[in-house]
Amino acid sequence: MADCNHDCSSCGKDCAERETTDFSAKLNKYSSVGKVIAVVSGKGGVGKSLVSSLLAASAARAGLKTALLDADITGPSIPRAFGLKEKAFATEDGIIPVKSKGGVDVMSLNLLLENDTDPVVWRGPIIAGAVKQFWTDVIWQDEDVMFIDMPPGTGDVTLTVFQSLPVDGIVIVSTPQELVGMIVEKAVKMADLMHIPVFALVENMSYVECPDCGKRIEVFGKSHMAELAAKYGIRNTASLPVKPELAELCDEGRIEEFEGDWLEGIVNEIKNM
């Protein structure tokens, strides 16, 4: 290619000239991780971290030994959702993740910072390197499944995770707006480019349920999830309602106390992978 800089580590193109360099990162020798599922979104503000938290809590409820890796380095919200106050600590063998009340092993940069509000002013490659270290330096013991809460978009961290970690599939989070549907297609195409299957599509803020009659009201427009799922052959889908209680649980650090079976189908599919 005319514009090729021959640095395949920073490129997602699948071209004939691509060097067959192995970018895979080795898991800590004391770790054991089964399935790895990355939760992605084409843009911010669609509830990706909420879905990551709900998936992890649902998997733990289903009896799976569950890990949650917060790869959104500059905007880590996972510790707050789970109410984690304890800090991660290092031993001679590696970093020990923090366990939630529900038994989810969590690793996030905020669990290493002295103050939760300290900003992370790093360039992209450093951020991507930190995410890779969460895989190589953290001791993930006997995890059946790991969910990775990715930053929005398709930048350095996404490319690093897809190239370096053994991702078995991705869950794409969207909202009903048509523009977001277009952005979903970008995420699907990137996954295809990186040869990673799209495991599920989750539509957040899909509807409001009337408290009196139970009718579903599509306040943000008609859903296009079924069309997108059919177009790209995505078998697993789920719709999450607009539910103020979920926001309150996140703010109060009690996300594991949520009530709802919206993601049980996806978790069951993961158990059968």
Q: What tokens appear for 161 in the block?
A: 């995770």
Confirm whether 10 is domain-assigned: no
Confirm whether 230 is domain-assigned: yes
Q: How many domains does the chain have?
A: 1
pLDDT tens-digit map of 38-82: 999 888 888 999 999 999 999 999 999 999 999 988 878 999 999
Q: What tokens appear for 14 in the block?
A: 């699948």
Confirm whether 238 is domain-assigned: yes
Confirm whether 75 is domain-assigned: yes
Q: What is the DSSP string of 198-239?
A: EEEEEEEEEEEE-TTT--EE-TT----HHHHHHHHT--EEEE
pLDDT tens-digit map of 164-191: 999 999 999 998 886 677 888 888 888 8
CATH number, domain at 121? 3.40.50.300
pLDDT tens-digit map of 94-151: 999 999 999 999 999 999 887 777 777 778 788 889 999 999 999 999 999 999 999 8
Confirm whether 3 is domain-assigned: no
Confirm whether 15 is domain-assigned: no
Q: Which domain holds residue 109?
A: 25-271
Find how far residue 226's CA is from the centre of its chain.
Answer: 21
Q: What is the DSSP string of 25-61?
A: PPPPTT--EEEEEEEE-SSSSS-HHHHHHHHHHHHHH
Rg for the chain (alpha carbons), in Å? 18
Confirm whether 138 is domain-assigned: yes
Residue with tokens 């919200």: 77
What's 59-127 look like in SS3?
A: HHHCCCCEEEEECCCCCCCHHHHCCCCCCCEECCCCEECEECCCCCEEECHHHCCCCCCCCCCCCHHHH
Confirm whether 6 is domain-assigned: no
At residue 108, the pLDDT reads 95
Mean per-residue pLDDT over the chain, rounded? 88
Q: What is the pTM of this model?
A: 0.88
